[in-house]
Amino acid sequence: NVFLSETEYGELKQEIREIDRLIEELSSYMRSSGKQYADHAVTLRRWAERSAPVKNIPDYTCSEEESL
């Protein structure tokens, strides 16, 4: 029940490594919740952005003996 054109799928496949897993998740979510989306490609891109780990966050923790 996730509808993508061949072009959209090809673009998503190049952009998002785990696109097939996200398509399955979106499909399951839509079936279980009854929710519909106007543009599945945009929804998948948003889901991919939200699930991407945040990179290069500095760790400023220190032990009690240390000081900043």
Which pLDDT does position 2 carry in this prediction?
95
The structure's pTM equals 0.74
The domain spans of the chain are: 6-51
Q: Is 29 helix (H, G, I), strand (E, B) or coil?
A: helix
Which pLDDT does position 23 carry in this prediction?
97
Work out the pLDDT band at 68, boundaries 50, 70, 90: low
For residues 23 and 13, what is the distance between their CA atoms, to the nearest angstrom?
11
> Do residues 47 and 22 touch, judged by C-beta distance below 8 A?
yes
Model confidence at 64: pLDDT above 90 = no
Mark out the alpha helices in the chain (DSSP H runs). Answer: 6-15, 19-33, 40-51
For residues 20 and 25, what is the distance between their CA atoms, to the nearest angstrom?
9
Residue pLDDT, tens place only, 13-60: 999 999 999 999 999 999 999 999 999 999 999 999 988 777 777 777
Could you say which DSSP state residue 52 is in? S
